[in-house]
């Protein structure tokens, strides 16, 4: 007689289905997600139906021309904006409202003007009613990391735009969310700080296995950071291509001298030859 532990063919295929459903449920999954803004002047189609899956622990970068719907996409995934059609699943749950285990960096810093820099960084902690004392060292460590040590007690208007944006990155990281949604987080930074932040973000992502969706205008930044790069067309945005970036990790600034890096940057840039410069 066969051992009772052996699975029948039916059981085996049911089991495989379950395993693949589970693998599918993690990360971020979009099916037929589109957006048309309804305005008084008429409809503004912003995104054509999109289908893609950001895997658990993946560093996924989106590049595309201005106005193609990148921020719209991020707002929908974060639950702040309902899609016109389609479904968004985050960790297997359908997104219908803002969800907890996500850190968001918006295109503008959006700091609360009446809170100090430290108070702004601790906002997610206060909103979740977590103990401030436990998160204070992390908040200060993050501020130091982004070069804002000594600015904890300042108010946002006392900082430059780039400094405010760095504070908003700390705010997104302070509660150690599993998923990071970042809309041009380094756009307002000088080139050197930007490179430093790139390397730091990659280190954090690798160490904590976060799933990251990052939007950028810079093709070299996209290739440097990403496991995969999604290239969007002009508005209404659609997927022009998705590229794997098989550059070894950990990556350092020397990675940019790798011929594969240059080749990928050039290949992605070709998408925009007809659409004008991107970065
Ligand atoms: N609240 C809104 N109401 C109406 N139209 C909107 C609204 N927000 C965005 N749009 C339109 O949707 C399109 C996509 O906007 P979105 O901000 O997503 O672009 P983007 O790709 O992030 O651009 P950028 O690279 O300049 O940040 C734009 O054409 C914009 O005019
Ligand atoms: Mg935008």
Residue of 44, 65, 165 to mutate, ligand 1, most atoms within 8 A of C-beta:
44
- CB of residue 66 inside a 6 A radius of ligand 1: yes
Domain boundary among 125, 159, 176: 176
Tens digit of each residue's pLDDT (9 = 90 or more) over 138-178: 999 999 988 899 999 999 999 998 899 899 999 999 999 99
Confidence at 19, pLDDT banded by 50, 70, 90: low
- CB of residue 36 inside a 6 A radius of ligand 1: no
- CB of residue 72 inside a 6 A radius of ligand 1: yes
| One domain for residues 188 and 132 | no
Averaged confidence pLDDT in the chain: 90
Nearest CA to ligand 1 atom 29: 67
Q: What is the pLDDT of residue 1?
A: 47
| Rounded mean pLDDT, 93-114 | 90
On whether residue 18 sits in a domain, the answer given is: no
| One domain for residues 141 and 232 | no
Looking at the 3D structure of the chain, how many domains does it have? 2
Q: What is the pLDDT of residue 6?
A: 63
Domain boundary among 176, 206, 228: 176
| One domain for residues 187 and 268 | yes
- CB of residue 67 inside a 6 A radius of ligand 1: yes
Contact 193, 225 (CB under 8 A): no
CA distance 217 to 229: 12
How much of the chain, in percent, has pLDDT values that exceed 70?
89
On whether residue 238 sits in a domain, the answer given is: yes
Task: Write out the residues surrounding ion ligand 2, Cβ under 5 A.
Answer: 70-71, 107
Would the pLDDT of 272 be above 70? Answer: yes
| One domain for residues 250 and 154 | no
Tens digit of each residue's pLDDT (9 = 90 or more) over 229-241: 999 999 999 999 9
Q: What is the pLDDT of residue 266?
A: 96
| Rounded mean pLDDT, 253-258 | 94
User: From the CA of 230, how far away is ligand 2's center (Å)?
Assistant: 15
| One domain for residues 203 and 66 | yes
**Nearest ligand, CA of residue 68?**
1
- Note down the domain range covering 227: 52-101+178-279
| One domain for residues 130 and 255 | no
| One domain for residues 276 and 197 | yes
CA distance 199 to 252: 7
What is the residue-wise DSSP string for 91-145?
Answer: TTEEPSS--TTEEEE-SS----TTS-HHHHHTHHHHHTT--HHHHHHHHHHHHHH
């Amino acid at each position: 007689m066969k051992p009772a532990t052996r699975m029948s063919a039916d059981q085996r295929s049911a089991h495989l289905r379950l395993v693949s459903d589970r693998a599918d449920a993690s990360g971020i999954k979009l099916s037929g997600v589109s957006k048309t803004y309804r305005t008084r002047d008429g409809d503004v189609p912003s995104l054509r139906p999109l289908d893609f899956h950001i895997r658990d622990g993946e560093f996924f970068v989106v590049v595309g021309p201005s106005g193609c719907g990148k921020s719209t996409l991020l707002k929908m995934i974060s639950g702040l904006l309902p899609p016109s059609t389609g479904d968004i699943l985050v960790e297997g749950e359908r997104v219908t409202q803002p969800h907890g285990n996500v850190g968001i960096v918006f295109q503008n810093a959006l700091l609360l003007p009446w809170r100090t820099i430290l108070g702004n960084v601790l906002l997610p902690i206060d909103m979740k009613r977590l103990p401030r004392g436990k998160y204070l060292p992390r908040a200060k460590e993050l501020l130091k990391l982004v070069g804002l040590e000594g600015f904890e007690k300042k108010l946002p208007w006392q900082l430059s735009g780039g400094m405010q944006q760095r504070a908003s990155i700390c705010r997104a990281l302070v509660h150690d969310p599993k998923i990071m949604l970042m809309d041009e987080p380094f756009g307002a930074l000088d080139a050197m700080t930007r490179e430093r932040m790139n390397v730091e973000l990659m280190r954090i992502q690798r160490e904590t296995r976060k799933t990251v969706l990052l939007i950028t205008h810079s093709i070299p930044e996209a290739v440097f950071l990403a496991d995969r790069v999604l290239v969007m067309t002009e508005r209404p945005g659609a997927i022009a291509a998705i590229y794997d970036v098989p550059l070894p990790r950990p990556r350092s600034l020397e990675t940019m001298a790798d011929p594969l890096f240059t080749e990928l940057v050039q290949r992605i840039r070709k998408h925009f030859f007809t659409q004008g410069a991107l970065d």
